[in-house]
Structure 1
Amino acid sequence: MIVKSYLTWYAIFDNIPLWQPLLTEVPFVWLIFCFIERFSHKRKIGYYMIANLTITIVFFAAIMYYKYYGVIVTYHALAQVNQVTSVNSSVFSLLAPYYLLIFVDIIVLCVYFIRRRIQRSKLVFQTTRSLPRIGKKTAVAIFAFSALLTIFNVWPNRASMNELTQAESMGILNYEAYMIAADKPGKPVPKEQITQHKINTMKGFTPDQPAISTYWDAAKGRNVIIVQMESFQNFLIGLHIDGKEITPNLNKLAKESLYFPHFYQQVGQGNTSDAEFVVNSSYYIPARGAASQEYAGFQVPSLAKLLDKYGYNTTTFHTNKVEFWNRKEMYAALGFGKYYDMDFFGNEDAVAFAASDEVLYKKTSKELKALQDTGKPFYSQVISMSAHHPYHLPESKYKMELPARYENTLVGDYIRSQNYADYELGTFIQQLKDNGVWDNSLIVLYGDHLGLPLYSLEEKDRTLMKEIFGRDYTRADMMNIPLIISAPGAVDPARIDQLGGQSDIVPTVASLLGVSMDGYIHFGQDLLNGHSNLLPERYYLPSGSLITEEGMFVPGSGYEDGTQYPLPSIEETADPSFISSLDPPPDSLKETGKNLNKGKVSKEQYERALNLLHYSDSYVSQLPMR
């Protein structure tokens, strides 16, 4: 148990005191062992083996979950176990061989007991010896001592905000037990007290500021096409490696559109499906679990429902099975009129775990043309997926040669996969231009979530990322995704340095279409209106993390011991010629972004972010059921 504890801590925590796993993990193990000694009269070894296996699985799950999500696993993740088989290649890619050492004793003991049973079954006469028992007084003394240490570890750290800090202070096993015993939802804010005025105030702007931007109804009546790019991070935009342009089509689109380099993911356990939910609803993800599972039973206000009132057809395109991440129920909750999944796209030309982006875009462009030909405007969301972790792109799909130092690395595989995704996106754009859909549409493109988790990168990958950024790769870099909005002929291109997140897409799109959001409680804001912004984060960063113009803040046990990170600048990764080609924003937005990183996130902002999360949880949980 001691060896397993140290192996787990080494994989998750940094710079731990040598004594800490002993002080936090061993007392919990002793408590379990005392119960076995007190209550097991027969099959004691069997109970020890069960306890050993259970604790080992908890430790192993903690390692793997951290490497993927950057947070400590809890019992809530059991609801997602059925999704693991669909992304098993991603799971295995995170598996360092030494993690498996945690199972060595179990394998050895199983072999030993099987061999002993076989040998004993060959004997006619055999004697059975019971294992020695610890004396009652000794067991009571060990139990009492362990219980006191466990309470000492848990009690002072109950209010810690950062789950990693909390698990390190309590011990992983104590943390898991505490979450089962004490993880109860807070009392919701009464629905009638949740108003748009209160939400706007918490976000940092008030209704007396301009309510309508200069872009209001610039794309009125147009089709809406929202393209969600798998695992696409912002540092790829404008990036050249050894003179090679990585995403030429997106670079071209960014130059011809509204490009937001300071845009951030707000997803959680559901990853891609969470992005779909947040982008379509303007609500935050739930505290535990995926939005597609936790919120699918509610009648969720959404962009699809909003546009349906204006006569839009609403559709969504995803090449995987609609049951994956409970999307069938989520799409019903969000009010999409029709979905296209694997039944439509088939299994041809599979990449990752469904049809390739080439198939996705080819078949989708034809459907969008058919929708336009009905004479009604449409809203369609298109979910790309070929650049999915762990980025094992078939050689037949390679569109670029990597420098030798990038070969056989996660960073290199990621860049090559995104280069392919960019290539197929360029084909899609051309298809829409050729069939007459492009010029009649408002196109929104963004990354769904990060592709290179900081905590799962090996040393050679960190070195490559340092080469790309010219400094160490940070959590703020990791969370930064692009947003590009294009309305050909209706909106002039510009670089917009407004801070934004995925929850801001609904009000921004509504503003461009001239669609009123009166009566629609939402937690995003119009990014073309020049307001300050505040983005609460829940996953991939510890709870209580937030992003403002001042930077990114990650709490410790609370605000006082938290860490501030500056927001990344596109100038660090993009080619200078690309940056110089971006048009400046209009006069109404020239001041946005000028105060980036010129202060630090305040305690008051931190508390407002927590309140925003609580208000969102409260509001969605009180929506009518479907």
Structure 2
Amino acid sequence: NTIKIAFFDSLLISQSTTPSLSLLNSGIIVKFLAVSLGFILISRLNRPFLFIFAYCFQLLYMFANLSYHIASEGYLHITQYFGLFSETMELVRHSAVPANNSSGFLFMDTLLFIAVVFLYKDINFINKKFVFKKALVVFACSLVFFAYKWQSVEARERPTAILNDRYSCDNNVVHKYGLLAFNIVDILNLKDANNRIKRINYGREINGIASDSAKPCIVMIQVESMDSYIVKTKHNNEWVAPFLHSLTKKCIYYPYVLSFHKAGSTSDCEFSVINGIEPFDDYPAMKLRDYNYPNSLVKPLKAAGYEAVAFHGNRGTYFNRNIALKKMGFNMFYDMQAMNLPEQGWGASDGDVFDFTMDKLKSLQKPFFCYIITMSSHEPFTLVNSYYTNNRYNDIKDKATANYFRAFSYVDGQLKRFVDHITKEYKNSYIFIYGDHTPPIENGNGYKRASFTNNNELYEFVPLFLITPMGTIYEEKFSAAMFTDFSATVLPSSKINFKINSPGRDLTVFPHDSNRISYLDEKFSRNELFKLIRR
């Protein structure tokens, strides 16, 4: 078990996806003492179910943290364990938890665990008669030694100081003291929702004045796991997503948009896009209880006569969307159950959602604001297998890459069908198509996702296609956009009176200056970000 913990720690503090032998010695004595003490204390009690519970809890704790680290290259905060519990159970139920082959080491001590369960009574007897008192002496001496060593640690090097230092990162605490210490410090630093709300940076005030021209309809399509590189990816000399690639020459195209993908996972996308603000590092922003989304772009649209509707092929309780989206101002939110759509794999298919949306839009008064969140290209990228077949990618050795390409081949076709319908039936419309985050595919094993790491933080990039009623064509070749630009673009395009705050800029106005933007307590110029991610 000590070796398993050492393997686990080595994966969390290295950039590799396999355990590092060079890191196994890090704190190995402390790990051994901690495991031994825990085992001796538990086995002294004649309660084998406590031992079984402790082992299973450790297994689940390691698997959850390893899966999250593989997907986001970050670490789970305590608030996420509780805030995202229901979402995690949904992922597990549909086998959509990001993982890799290296997680097999978690079961390296399973046979020993089974043996201990069968021999528990004998171990309990030996513990009480021969081991317990001697072990307490050893641990007491060890505790005195570590307390003495702790005094020599400078205050600025202690975990609470490192985690609270805005210039340090979570990785520094995990690397120096381990994940458990990181979680303990996290508990000590728990802040209530009001303090989180007070930390929100809304940016500068932006005003708009209504024009006499007809207000356009606005359609926003948030595409699951669509990153920047998939748009220009070929397999056997054919585009994986031919429709999306064709749009790069037919509309306003931003190849690199900085994705806000933090504690709220995929829901951070709509939180940022709709509200024009950055989500939280340590808590799912969509689950704030006492927050009324004062900066939501939906509210001024509704005040100007827009009917606002949202559609998603998953359950509305996932990420609290059924509550949060209504607070943001939507007249109606149609989840899979409200649309009465069959579940296929996990959630409804994008094709079914688009069909329902097209039918529902016929009954809405114009202008309308329509927000769609797709589902079919969700990891593990096999959801489409029950309703879509494409053998073009069977020759790809990396299964995750093959599945991702196949899923996007389906999504691309459905997007074309839906966009063609909107442009034909609602000519005075703005259509935004963009990804929420990159796919959790390991770099080097096939597809390379559009991301880079800076100070142990992952920066992810997605594309934006903006189709305008005027047929504007523009490709940004020097500057990155970000999610907080969207509200600063949607509202001016709607030609209504509005007043919001935003650190973003209007993406329909070019050329752009390379102003500095902030993300994860780092500042970059937009040009710098573009150069770092450009391929």
Q: Same fold (TM over 0.5)?
A: yes
Alignment match, 2:525? 548
1:381 match: secondary structure: strand
Which sections of structure 2, spanning at least 5 residues, go unmatched? none
The offset of 1:13, in angstroms, is 2.9
Give deviations 1:211-256, integer Å, cap 9, x for gaps. 999xx97985001111111110111223333220222222233322
1:307 match: secondary structure: helix
Provide closer, same or farther for how the CA distance between residues 279 and 352 of structure 1 changes in structure 2, counting only shifts above 3 A: farther
The offset of 1:342, in angstroms, is 1.5
Alignment match, 2:174? 167
Alignment match, 1:481? 462
Contact 2:313-2:335 at 8 Å conserved across structures? yes
The offset of 1:523, in angstroms, is 3.2
Correspondence for 2:412 among 413, 419, 422: 422
Is the counterpart of residue 382 in structure 1 residue 372 in structure 2?
Answer: yes
Alignment match, 1:3? 3
C-alpha distance in 2, partners of 1:32/1:342? 46
Describe how 1:135-534 pairs up with structure 2 within 5 A: 135=134, 137-148=137-148, 152=153, 154-155=158-159, 157-158=162-163, 159=165, 161-184=168-191, 199-200=203-204, 221-294=215-288, 297-348=291-342, 350-371=343-364, 374=365, 376-392=366-382, 393-394=384-385, 396-399=387-390, 401-402=392-393, 404=395, 406-434=396-424, 436-437=425-426, 439-453=427-441, 456-457=442-443, 459-461=444-446, 464-465=447-448, 474-475=452-453, 479-488=460-469, 490-497=470-477, 498-518=479-499, 520-529=500-509, 530-534=512-516
Correspondence for 1:76 among 64, 75, 79: 79
Contact 1:316-1:381 at 8 Å conserved across structures? yes
C-alpha distance in 2, partners of 1:78/1:190? 20
More deviation in 521-530 or 507-516?
A: 521-530
Contact 1:274-1:292 at 8 Å conserved across structures? yes
1:132 match: secondary structure: helix
% identical aligned pairs:
17
2:109 match: secondary structure: helix
Letter in 1 for 2:12: I
C-alpha distance in 2, partners of 1:189/1:183? 10
Letter in 2 for 1:514: K
C-alpha distance in 2, partners of 1:286/1:128? 47
Give deviations 1:471-507, integer Å, cap 9, x for gaps. xx7449971111111123x252111344211111011
Contact 1:31-1:146 at 8 Å conserved across structures? no
2:502 match: secondary structure: coil
Provide closer, same or farther for how the CA distance between residues 23 and 417 of structure 1 changes in structure 2, counting only shifts above 3 A: closer
2:300 match: secondary structure: helix
Describe how 1:48-59 pairs up with structure 2 within 5 A: 54-59=57-62
C-alpha distance in 2, partners of 1:243/1:279? 34
Give deviations 1:165-195, integer Å, cap 9, x for gaps. 321122222222222224447996997x999
1:228 match: secondary structure: strand
TM-score, normalised with respect to structure 1? 0.72
Letter in 1 for 2:507: L
C-alpha distance in 1, partners of 2:400/2:323? 34
Provide closer, same or farther for how the CA distance between residues 302 and 411 of structure 1 changes in structure 2, counting only shifts above 3 A: same
Which sections of structure 1, spanning at least 5 residues, go unmatched? 121-125, 201-205, 538-542, 553-564, 573-626
Provide closer, same or farther for how the CA distance between residues 419 and 535 of structure 1 changes in structure 2, counting only shifts above 3 A: farther
Alignment match, 1:132? 131
Letter in 1 for 2:265: N
C-alpha distance in 1, partners of 2:2/2:196? 44
Provide closer, same or farther for how the CA distance between residues 233 and 194 of structure 1 changes in structure 2, counting only shifts above 3 A: closer
C-alpha distance in 2, partners of 1:128/1:239? 61
Alignment match, 1:567? 532
C-alpha distance in 1, partners of 2:102/2:196? 47
Provide closer, same or farther for how the CA distance between residues 116 and 35 of structure 1 changes in structure 2, counting only shifts above 3 A: closer
1:130 match: secondary structure: helix
More deviation in 260-269 or 524-533?
A: 524-533
Q: RMSD of aligned C-alpha atoms?
A: 3.9
Contact 1:56-1:102 at 8 Å conserved across structures? yes
Provide closer, same or farther for how the CA distance between residues 148 and 515 of structure 1 changes in structure 2, counting only shifts above 3 A: farther
The offset of 1:343, in angstroms, is 2.5
2:465 match: secondary structure: strand
Alignment match, 1:101? 105
Give deviations 1:109-143, integer Å, cap 9, x for gaps. 344433666x99xxxxx999634224455332111
- The number of equivalent residue pairs is 515
1:236 match: secondary structure: helix
TM-score, normalised with respect to structure 2? 0.83
Give deviations 1:10-33, integer Å, cap 9, x for gaps. 333327996765454643663575
